[in-house]
Structure 1
């Protein structure tokens, strides 16, 4: 039996989605601009709420990398506000399409329409509250938000501010709703509210995502964990390879597109590994290596099987020496979560093999995996990075929050 309060949330979201489906781009943009202003005007209230969450996380001994994802600053709120303005400037996908005429005179229009009610289930990243709401509204969807308990006060403050701004601007009540109950029973019931919810998008660690995939009856767009690899080929340019590895691992280690495993061709391992280790030390990165890596780098800790399959989300890097490109491809095939993978090489043929043969949402040549991001791909704020193959794959922006509808114009035609 679904809780009455959840039913009411679902009913409001469904009614709001009905109205948002035909809302004008101008009205949606007006609401987004109001939301951006409201965040700045209510900055102190939001920061006070965030301080409560951060203090509670520190008291629980949550690791620093996760607290950094939770923490908001004045600059951070300014950045979130700016991201809303960027969404305003993005093209509205609703109504895009193409038309053709059949021999019998029927005119068929294929057009983009909103998904309807989107439920976001995510962990301790308060910015997701605003990013998800912005992208859902611009694409004509209502959104039900269920963030992690670690960010509860922050999410409550953010959702209150942006929901009021959106509704004051003329968008329907219930277009943005936050579930504030932390009991797992609530999220379990949300995942089975097929009558009200059109799609669920989980965003977080492997445990959260797999729980949603396993128990939801509502369709799920799976945003995957990022077991991202970099393969440094024997034909690599060290002047490119070392900065790419450093950036992919250290620029923001607590995110899904950060580098987790470094694979190095055995031909260059004894030369390359000490050089990259020296640079990684400057960023306090701990290395966990295969036996051949540990023989070259005495300070590296022995890697265990789990080190090849789990996201560290921290300043820890797994390192393995492989015999060649084929061995690197085999390792990636076995352990990849199909998120983002990169090869560093000056060999065109190897680069092309890597791009084509690696089964991942994004494959790179001579670039950091940290570029797997809606903003860096030009999509604006992203709803998540899909690692599945149906409906959407890779960074998901506005277009991925719509689906297809056919409108057929006739003049008395019948089937004979």
Structure 2
């Protein structure tokens, strides 16, 4: 046991370091790979997701059986599950990503009067780590984004999804990289079930300077604090829970549809979590809204609440099928509640009144704001037509909202003679 990090075993630390070293050895070649090779590898992953479907589903069923025996909630089991249709969707998204045109590495910012040119150059980070729990689809989401941005990677998932993720790396990602002429070792999956491997991953700034933390609640926040202690930067997705404010000017039928659309899945971060109703129409609108929730099998937590107003129900295995309902005194008050009492992931307003919508949208400062649209759209592929590594809700400059390959570069300023040959590749 390593005494400076609670829960980290020497074997986990060594396993993560070995993966990081292997990934780093191929990072330079990956950074220089052609656009054609990168996109061929992603298309190869998409093809193998389809052809290896039976094998992938079998591995996933073993994970599902073990998780169910361990008492995993239905909402989390849904996140863990791989089905034929879900794998088909993943393959389709990968094909879309492969066909996204690569942006120039070098961009001219200024032709200076002193005969020099100022360029902005995009460089890969090198090796990026990723920690995620019972969501095997994230294995491909992150692997594909790392490839598209030419970054090597070390992926770590928990025991619940490890068989599924191992099958994806061994039978899909690795062979596709080899077929495209790329080193399969640039993408590593830590073969260690213990959570101590996650702490090891965020403790190696010299090998893995950036780690994507995709998870839920306290455990992910704790990893972020541990990363900061070691000087490792993170893109963290720990908290979620979306808000819908039903304004006084909302069309009742449209509001009911938004509620329904926002609760199609309960184990995801951008589902409806807090439903605010304008107090001027609260008594009038509440019965119809409760009927909608009842029809969907969702319990309404009505005031007075025995929990914080922004409590995230998707993280509560026993009560995930719950929505908090409360009053708001107008659009500004609703936005303030969303800003101050929720994670800041996403909030929407249902109204036919443009002035009310503008007041709400201008006041809300979270990562995604929606007017007569479901917060479920705050998703990489639904919003940006790209897979995502996660949704970052940090309130600091940098990538925010769904993080894609375009956010996984370092910016470098380059000054050179205007007459000199600088690659625009």
* Same fold, TM-score > 0.5, yes or no: yes
- Alpha-carbon deviations, 1:249-295, whole Å to 9, x = none? x211210110100000111111111111112211111111114xxxx
Aligned residue in 2 for 1:406: 413
- 1:211 aligned to which of 217, 222, 233: 222
Aligned residue in 1 for 2:251: 237
| 1:305 equivalenced with 2:311 (yes/no) | no
Aligned residue in 2 for 1:107: 117
Aligned residue in 1 for 2:36: 26
- 1:338 aligned to which of 341, 344, 356: 344
Aligned residue in 1 for 2:178: 167
Aligned residue in 2 for 1:318: 324
Query: Secondary structure in 1 aligned to 2:82?
Result: coil
| 1:10 equivalenced with 2:20 (yes/no) | yes
Aligned residue in 2 for 1:298: none
Query: Secondary structure in 1 aligned to 2:59?
Result: helix
Please give the residue correspondences for 1:63-142 in structure 2 after superposition, counting only pairs within 5 Å. Answer: 63-93=73-103, 95=105, 97-142=107-152
Q: Distance in 2 between matches of 1:270 and 1:398?
A: 47
- Alpha-carbon deviations, 1:301-341, whole Å to 9, x = none? xx312453333353211100223333323322221211101
Query: Secondary structure in 1 aligned to 2:46?
Result: helix
| 1:281 equivalenced with 2:294 (yes/no) | yes
Q: Distance in 1 between matches of 2:104 and 2:218?
A: 34
Q: Distance in 1 between matches of 2:272 and 2:285?
A: 17
TM-score normalized with structure 1 length: 0.92
TM-score normalized with structure 2 length: 0.90
Residue 94 of structure 1, CA deviation: 5.4
Stretch of structure 1 that moved more, 272-281 or 306-315: 306-315
Q: Distance in 2 between matches of 1:278 and 1:6?
A: 51
| 1:202 equivalenced with 2:213 (yes/no) | yes
Q: Distance in 2 between matches of 1:151 and 1:34?
A: 23
Query: Secondary structure in 1 aligned to 2:91?
Result: helix
Q: Distance in 2 between matches of 1:353 and 1:112?
A: 38
| 1:254 equivalenced with 2:267 (yes/no) | yes
TM superposition outliers: structure 1 runs of 4+ over 6 Å:
none
Q: Distance in 1 between matches of 2:33 and 2:418?
A: 29
Q: Distance in 1 between matches of 2:334 and 2:183?
A: 52
Q: Distance in 1 between matches of 2:122 and 2:140?
A: 23
- RMSD (Å) for aligned C-alpha atoms: 1.9
Aligned residue in 2 for 1:191: 202
| 1:393 equivalenced with 2:400 (yes/no) | yes
Q: Distance in 2 between matches of 1:334 and 1:128?
A: 30
Query: Secondary structure in 2 aligned to 1:278?
Result: helix
- Alpha-carbon deviations, 1:137-177, whole Å to 9, x = none? 01111111111211111111111121232123211242211
Stretch of structure 1 that moved more, 8-17 or 91-100: 91-100
- Alpha-carbon deviations, 1:119-154, whole Å to 9, x = none? 110111100001110111011111111112111111
Aligned residue in 2 for 1:221: 235
**Are the counterparts in 1 of residues 249 and 353 from structure 2 also a CA contact under 8 Å?**
yes
Aligned residue in 1 for 2:333: 327
**Structure 1 residues 411 and 30, CA gap change in structure 2 (3 angstroms):** closer
Q: Distance in 1 between matches of 2:85 and 2:332?
A: 45
Aligned length: 401
| 1:48 equivalenced with 2:61 (yes/no) | no
Q: Distance in 1 between matches of 2:67 and 2:17?
A: 31
**Are the counterparts in 2 of residues 225 and 311 from structure 1 also a CA contact under 8 Å?**
no
| 1:149 equivalenced with 2:159 (yes/no) | yes
Q: Distance in 1 between matches of 2:332 and 2:188?
A: 49
Query: Secondary structure in 1 aligned to 2:383?
Result: coil
